Amino acid sequence: MTIFQQLRLRRLRRSPSLRALIRENCVETSDLIYPLFVEEGKNIKQEIPSMPGIFRFSPDRLPHEVEELATLKIPAVILFGIPQEKDEVGSAAYHPKGVIQQAIRTIKKATPELLVATDVCLCEYTSNGHCGVVVNGDVDNDQTLPLLAKTALSHAAAGADIVAPSDMMDARIKIIRQALDEAGFEQIPILSYAAKYASAFYGPFREAAESAPQFGNRRSYQMDPANLREALREVEADITEGADIIMIKPALAYLDVIRQVRNTFNCPLAAYNVSGEYAMVKAAVKENWLDERQVVMEIMTAIKRAGADIILTYHAKEVARWLGEKQKDNSPC
């Protein structure tokens, strides 16, 4: 018996070509930024146990890695530094010959076309693992701001294309923008971690960057995972202060935040598919519980569908290879 049904949405799902014709979102290699961990020293390439396939490199080992990224047509990296020495004010973060400053120069010499973004924060450089200057057991917002500005300036002077403050101090975008402009770096954009949540998904990163707090936690400056409206206030403040690109971090548990920000603000939007999200996939794949390629591409598509223009992800190399295979086969995205 045939039931008359005027609306038959399945008609447009009958074949790969039809599905591709009406596909609303496509992940592209040009959407991706690949995070790199750079450790001070020489001849270092060390895999991070909780992040299979991700390594810490010394600056001298970076050329081969970034040349591979350029071959894969990944447009940008973001750098995180691990210094040999730490102190209470994170002075290695803004030293002219610091590990990130060395890395920027090395990458730009090896692959001038590769965009280099730099994480601007003190947590990897302070002896206490916090993102700013600690006074009486708490991070002092206003004492931290000049040090963040010095860090951003040192990165720009070394050749960074983008600076990305991740500290979540109030007014840091304004202070960094002012410092960059006064030093003649008006053309350096700021990618702001505008809504960075105090998330449990950062665990593997803190192992990789040796940046776990030595006491307490970061809940007095990173956002409460329960809050969405507060994220809109943070984003609005950062755009007003001069942010060129805004970021939501993490991504998967915060797709609703990405969508709300996308609906509210007309600004380039990035999302960080963080270390814990990456590690969960790798652990499940190792047990043959999930198909890695299908799951990763579904995650990337979800982040894009939620509204992100840019995706920071440790899966970037794999995604670029898979997309390259599709292009060779003339397959749709």
DSSP 87: B
Query: Mean pLDDT across the chain, nearest whole number?
Result: 92
CATH number at residue 197: 3.20.20.70
User: What's the Rg (C-alpha) of the chain?
Assistant: 21
In a domain, 11, yes or no: no
pTM of the entire structure?
Answer: 0.93
In a domain, 83, yes or no: yes
| Per-residue pLDDT, 216 | 57
In a domain, 4, yes or no: no
The amino acid sitting at 288 is N
Task: Give the mean pLDDT of 125-149.
Answer: 89
Give the integer Cα–Cα distance in Å for 39 and 44: 8
Task: Give the chain's domain count.
Answer: 1
Does residue 249 have an active-site annotation? Answer: yes
| Per-residue pLDDT, 130 | 83
Does residue 196 have an active-site annotation? Answer: yes
Q: Are 35 and 312 in contact (CB under 8 A)?
A: yes
pLDDT digits (tens, 9 = 90+) for 251-298: 999 999 999 999 999 999 999 999 999 999 999 999 999 999 999 999
pLDDT digits (tens, 9 = 90+) for 83-100: 999 999 999 999 999 999
For the beta carbon of residue 162, count every other beta carbon within 10 angstroms.
19
In a domain, 106, yes or no: yes
Give the integer Cα–Cα distance in Å for 43 and 254: 38
Show the domain range for 127: 26-328
**Local confidence band at 212 (pLDDT 50, 70, 90 cut-offs):** low
- Catalytic pick among 73, 97, 109, 196: 196
| Per-residue pLDDT, 180 | 98
- Catalytic pick among 86, 150, 249, 317: 249
**Local confidence band at 60 (pLDDT 50, 70, 90 cut-offs):** very high
